[in-house]
Amino acid sequence: MEFHASTEFELVPLHPRVFFTPHNGSASDPQQVHISIAGIDHIRITWLTDDKTVPSAVEYGTEPGKHVIKATGDNSSSYQFLTYTSGFIHHVRIGPLEPNTTYYYRCGGCGPEFSFKTPPSTFPLQIAVVGDLGQTDWTKSTLQGLESKDYDLLLLPGDLSYANSTQPLWDSFGRLVEPLASRRPWMVTEGNHEKESYLVGEAESFKAYNARWLMPHKQSASTSNLYYSFDVAGAHVIMLSSSTEFRSGSDQYAWLATDLARIDRTMTPWVFVSLHTPWYNTNDGRQGDGEGMRAAMEELLYEARVDVVFAGHIHAYERFTRIYDNKANSLGPVYITIGTGGCHSGVYSQFMKPTPALSLCRDARFGHGRLRILDEKRAHWSWHPNDSDVAEDEVWLTCLSAARDD
């Protein structure tokens, strides 16, 4: 047997707020289990083992203990980063699956039974949103808030583990989020902390992110795991990359233009975009970081009548009115920054004064947001700080699918 001991490592000193989550099972037991949408009626199940001989196979069914269907994936893989060698990474796509249905599953024929619920095929739909998670007590509080109320899927607009090239922290992060990420689809995009290049000018960055968090880019005709789209119920969700070339003429720009042109608003009336670096920001932190991408891509989103754009990067909450080209515009997206997962560097508490008219709510606390889509016309957004039992910001949204220029 070949083993990769992903729990044995030599770490540089951790930030005092960062904790490490160990693996307490055997080398064959699945760990870091998480699921993602992988095309219509399909789910991808991802996990790691320290034992190479464990097959990339998932047994599943709709009753506990009765795993009557079996699906297999490609052989497991691992990657190297400097002196670190990852565990064996398994990806298995299962389906077709019934909507709004609980499935019970086992990974690789070993370890415990897990379960997940598929998203509904029609409204209502509830999406949880939070970025910049990290691995701190603040993160734990955010995860507890997420777990306190059900949701159909989660959007994470970048900066997942904050491993920052310390690869065992990717393992730790996977174990930390497994109780939630193994039960509902987690749809993620990368942030600047996922890049992890260790050589100047190195082309192959995002190595850990791409190996561990495989998203449905092939199902959405993208050539890169860093940007993709998917449909869920009556919503089309686009996940963009702030860290990859985005200007006109780039692969990402061409893909986005094509993806937007293919949307059928009679089938998916709602359109949402998630990216890491916000295009609008009145926090004193990281001013101007998203301006280049905004200048390159904002017109595409405006012309397509995108409903909401979610971002992270800023460790604070902020909601803007509908905007286009730095002006209030009833046909532009609502912009929401929610990099409030619990990063070890803390919240960004300083905002511009006085508050610009475009900014409607600002809150320097950790927490998460919830988007509840009732039907093809109405949705409700709410912001839930970790230290509050009630929503501290909420707004009703009207879908732009039928909107036209005056």
Whether the predicted pLDDT of 202 surpasses 60: no
Are 72 and 92 in contact by the 8 Å Cβ rule? The answer is yes
What pLDDT is attached to residue 286? Answer: 86
Exposure b/e, 322-356, CB count within 10 A at least 16 = b: bbbeeeeeeebbbbbbbbbbbbbeebbeebeeeee
How many residues in the chain? 406
Tokens of 156: 């994470």
What pLDDT is attached to residue 7? Answer: 41
What pLDDT is attached to residue 8? Answer: 42
Whether the predicted pLDDT of 10 surpasses 50: no
Whether the predicted pLDDT of 208 surpasses 50: yes
Type and span of the H or E element at 169 = helix 168-181
Whether the predicted pLDDT of 61 surpasses 70: yes
Average pLDDT, the chain: 94
What pLDDT is attached to residue 64? Answer: 98
In sequence order, the β-bridge partners of residue 60 are 69, 105
DSSP 265-326: TTT--EEEEE-SS-SS--BSTTTTTTHHHHHHHHHHHHHTT--EEEE-SSSSEEEEEEEETT
Whether the predicted pLDDT of 185 surpasses 80: yes
Give the tens place of pLDDT for each residue, 211-224: 999 999 999 999 99
Q: What is the mean pLDDT of residues 327-356?
A: 97
Whether the predicted pLDDT of 350 surpasses 80: yes
Whether the predicted pLDDT of 6 surpasses 70: no
What pLDDT is attached to residue 128? Answer: 98
d(CA 187, CA 214): 10
What pLDDT is attached to residue 205? Answer: 86
What pLDDT is attached to residue 16? Answer: 79
What pLDDT is attached to residue 390? Answer: 95
Q: What is the mean pLDDT of residues 383-393?
A: 97
Give the tens place of pLDDT for each residue, 64-87: 999 999 999 999 999 999 999 999
Give the tens place of pLDDT for each residue, 224-281: 999 999 999 999 999 999 999 999 999 999 999 999 999 999 999 999 999 999 999 9
Q: What is the mean pLDDT of residues 124-150?
A: 97
What pLDDT is attached to residue 9? Answer: 44
What pLDDT is attached to residue 2? Answer: 44
What pLDDT is attached to residue 285? Answer: 85
Beta carbons within 8 Å of 148's beta carbon, 6+ residues apart: none
Are 187 and 151 in contact by the 8 Å Cβ rule? The answer is no
